[in-house]
Chains A and B, each alone.
Chain A
Amino acid sequence: MLKRDDWLDLARKLDWDFSYVEEREVFPEEISGSPWLTAETWKDWDEPYRTSYTEYVKNQSIKEASVHAVRDAVGKVEDFQKHDPSWINGLKLHAATLALAEFAAVVGNLRAARFGRDSAWRTTALLGALDELRHAQIPLLIMHELVRWDPQFDWTHKFFHTNNWIAIAGRHLVDELLITSDPMEFAVGTNFVFETGFTNLQFIGLSTMAHAAGDRMFEKMVKSIQTDEARHAQIGHPVLQKIIAHDPKRAQYLVDKWFWRNWLFFAVITGFSMDYLTPLKHRTQSFKEFMQEWVLDQFKRSLEEMGLALPWYWQQFLDAIDTYHHMVYASAYTYRATTWFNFALPGPEERTWLQEKYAKTWPLFDPIWEQITNRWRKSGPGVEWYTHGATPVTFCNLCQLVLCGGSPERNSAEVITRGARKYVFCSKPCRWIFESEPERYEHHKDVVMRILSGEAPGNLFELLRYFDLTPSIWGKDVAGGRYPWMQLSKG
């Protein structure tokens, strides 16, 4: 057989000069991206994997068989029942935010498979679309089995279809990043920042923890997905290089914007799992340590290599690694009925561990958990509402998450007025992103605005229904306050 490199370029470099239509008609700027560059500029575009169709279906069918074999062996309800309830709830959080977001990425990749400016890019993006279809279908097939055991797993599919506040925040990100960005912005935001910048947190960090927790199914799933991501993520670099060469300001803007937006997403999804929902004995590193080892160094290095500066908010971001996910977790714990998964209350051992890992900032959070623990002691187990907030909270008009920027001592919220409307942001970077492209964001109705306009109810109980939650679904304390340590350390 011929070697791939002997023939593949014949099938990868297939752009031609149009005669019967204009190039700008075939690749309109609004849908193929800015800056608009001629085909001539793109013709040397390349990526290193250069996978052929034959190799693709061969490798992928083997990977599929392997995932399904693990599913048959350890993917049954009984297998999941063996895991710690905290870990299971981390799974619910991940599963919900994964499947339909991956399918959204099918759409984004297909747009690039049509409007990407070079045929090799389009071909790699098409394989990317197929990969993302896989990443949508694997969790749907695995988690479907678990619905009959625990209806909260229904949110693996349902989540993005709901008006839940986290789903609104999720859509606000996924709509822009995965479904409706042009192929150039998609390549920077998704391929470069999200996939090469952040997903190691999941693929290395979380799969290590899954291994330690004995969850072979989850470990297998994320590791198998990672091998696909590593390939199609390669689209990002060469597209970003073209943007840098022709519009360096836009390149820097897109990187800065998407690093911040993606950071907030991972802080919630991975931060919760690593520092709260993974049982202490299975934790190998803290979220902060994983961020430092797998995100920061590598990301800084690739920015330097490309001649880009660190995002302007870098120091603020470094500070946030110590605080942000702790702020959101504490806030979400006390509003857990507004979510579809259960929360673990950090006990004395967990708090000692967190103190060790976040020596500088944990003293600000510890009193919050002390107070919550004392309220549980007072109410006794099973009384969820005694440790639960009752008044609706305020959300950031960019990221749509609760206002959790800064620290418990000093919230970093910012307010601006545009026309007749006031907008509030959790942080300076969120405000900056909004003000850079207000036409994208200013019409959005956050939860508070929906309440004020009568679209959503103001009463928390009714609001839960608006969030698509029922008593069997809404989030609770994972042990209902029945922690052995609570008894032991009483008094």
Chain B
Amino acid sequence: MGLWEIMTAQRTWWHLEGLKKKPSDYDISTSKLLYYTNRGFEVHTPSGEWLLTQQKNCPLQVTDWEQFRDPRETTYTKYTMLQNEKEIYVDGLLRSVDETGYDQRLTPQWLATLSGILGPILYPTHGLQMIAAYVGHIAPSGRLVVTCALQAADEMRRTQRFAYRLRQIQITHPKFAQSGKALWQEDPMWQPMRMAIEKLLVTYAWGETITALNLVLKPAFDALFLTQLACLAERSGDEILTKVLASLEEDTRWHREWMQAFVTFCITESPKNAMFVQSWIEKWVPICDAAIAPFLSLFETKGASVRTSVRQLQNKLWREAGLEGISA
């Protein structure tokens, strides 16, 4: 029998044959990647029991988690290409700092402000990385695993870019941001944020974890330490940081986009899911508000309330996902 003789009508994977279009690379390489979700595990280990229990006990339930899609349809290839482009751009910005004696021109007042942010902020961004990785490992669909893993990687990018910039400034200003860990652990300004991150680290019911992370805390954290900080940097004559932050902000825009798609999917599947998500939002909003409160005055300008703009951003995200907003 020649090999061509066994040619069949089958054109794609077994589970994509009903697809009415030619499967994309995203369809081919991200669908049904978790084989255990309906059958469980062949062995019983403590970590395996933990995973199954968290999946089973999650109030968010849909008929088929496989139907969730990342709106950007991010595959590994697409991700590395996209992020490499961004990193080349940021490298160019940072290189220009070395070439132009840029850091000598930063004002003492701006350096003092930035010092109190760039040192400690590496710890909460690492925390955000850990929390995204947690949801990724527990997620009941392969596509959710992938989005969470890539979001965690974006947080690594942010942490490393902050660390790089910090060290770069230290070359010109050796005393800059020397006590990041101490500020993170002791400065009253950072303590409500630290409490929020630590509490979220031990929030193991993954539906609540991802809601608190991507619908409440991160939109506020990112608005403050990317968008608002970028404006402050611009006002303080640090246009390089403004541009670096804008590139990092692009990553977080995707985090909000896929999260919105995820929530919309959950609510469309079952309106009950909206109730759960809403209750988690209500639980975490006060914690988040307290976490960002100490920083608001830092970013305030006349006639513009940062608190209001953060809440507007959150409300927009919630409403577009099909949830209710909360007054500022």
Contact = CB atoms under 8 A, between A and B. Distances in A.
A30 B91 CA distance: 42
Contacts of A144: 12-13, 23, 28
Contacts of B134: 110, 114
A100 B136 contact: no
Interface string A125-157: 011011001101100110010011111001001
A68 B81 CA distance: 12
A150 B50 contact: no
Contacts of A61: 77, 80-81, 83-84
Contacts of A107: 34, 136-137, 145
B256 interface: no
B198 to A, nearest CB: 4
B47 A111 contact: yes
B87 A171 contact: no
B152 interface: yes
Given A110-B145, A113-B129, A134-B76, A480 B1 contact: yes
Contacts of B84: 57-58, 60-61
A172 interface: yes
A480 B28 CA distance: 32
A335 to B, nearest CB: 21
A104 to B, nearest CB: 8
A255 to B, nearest CB: 18
Given A160-B35, A175-B36, A180-B47, A114 B137 contact: yes
A180 B153 contact: no
A379 B79 CA distance: 55
Given A148-B8, A175-B36, A182-B46, A122 B133 contact: yes
Given A54-B87, A149-B3, A441-B43, A154 B167 contact: no
Nearest to A134: B76
Interface stretch (B157-165, B269-277, B307-315): B157-165
B199 interface: yes
A374 B101 CA distance: 84
Contact of A10 (B156, B167, B185): B167
Given A52-B160, A53-B156, A130-B153, A64 B76 contact: yes
B299 interface: no
A400 B162 CA distance: 50
B48 A53 contact: no
Contact of B14 (A65, A108, A148, A157): A157
Contacts of B87: 53-54, 57-58
A281 interface: no
Nearest to A439: B44
Interface in A1-37: 1-2, 6-8, 10-11, 14, 16-21, 25-26, 30-31
B8 A57 contact: no
Nearest to B45: A180
B167 A6 contact: yes
B44 A443 contact: yes
Nearest to B148: A110
B81 A157 contact: no
Contacts of B164: 2, 7, 11
Contacts of B33: 100, 103, 136
Interface string B4-41: 10111011111100000001010011101111100001
Interface string B213-245: 000000000000000000000000000000000
Contacts of A176: 41-43, 45, 48
Contact of A147 (B12, B43, B44, B146): B12
B181 to A, nearest CB: 6
Contact of B25 (A57, A60, A141): A141
A137 B13 CA distance: 13
Interface in B124-169: 126, 129-131, 133-134, 136-137, 142, 145-146, 148-150, 152-153, 156-157, 159-160, 162-164, 166-168
B122 interface: yes
Contacts, number: 254
Contact of B8 (A8, A127, A151): A151
Helix, strand, loop or mixed for chain B's interface? helix
A17 B130 CA distance: 15
B48 A175 contact: yes
Interface residues of A, number: 82
B272 to A, nearest CB: 27
A172 B12 contact: no
Contacts of B122: 10-11, 14
Interface string A370-406: 0000000000000000000000000000001000000
A271 B184 CA distance: 54
A313 B159 CA distance: 46
A19 B198 contact: yes
A126 B47 contact: no
Given A11-B160, A14-B122, A54-B91, A60 B80 contact: yes
B167 A126 contact: no
B7 to A, nearest CB: 6
Contacts of A16: 123, 181, 184-185
B304 interface: no
A179 B48 contact: yes
Contacts of A298: none
A6 B165 CA distance: 11
B17 to A, nearest CB: 10
A171 B35 contact: yes
Interface of B: 1, 3-4, 6-8, 10-15, 23, 25, 28-30, 32-36, 41-48, 50-51, 75-77, 79-81, 83-84, 87-88, 90-91, 94-95, 98, 122-123, 126, 129-131, 133-134, 136-137, 142, 145-146, 148-150, 152-153, 156-157, 159-160, 162-164, 166-168, 171, 181, 184-185, 191, 194-195, 198-199, 201-202
28 contacts: A7-B168, A10-B166, A11-B122, A11-B126, A14-B126, A19-B195, A20-B198, A31-B47, A56-B80, A60-B84, A65-B81, A88-B3, A106-B136, A106-B149, A113-B152, A114-B131, A114-B133, A122-B130, A126-B129, A130-B76, A137-B29, A141-B28, A147-B10, A148-B11, A161-B35, A441-B44, A443-B44, A472-B8
Given A20-B198, A130-B153, 16 more contacts: A1-B98, A11-B122, A53-B156, A54-B160, A58-B87, A88-B3, A103-B145, A111-B47, A111-B137, A113-B133, A113-B152, A122-B129, A129-B152, A171-B36, A175-B43, A176-B48
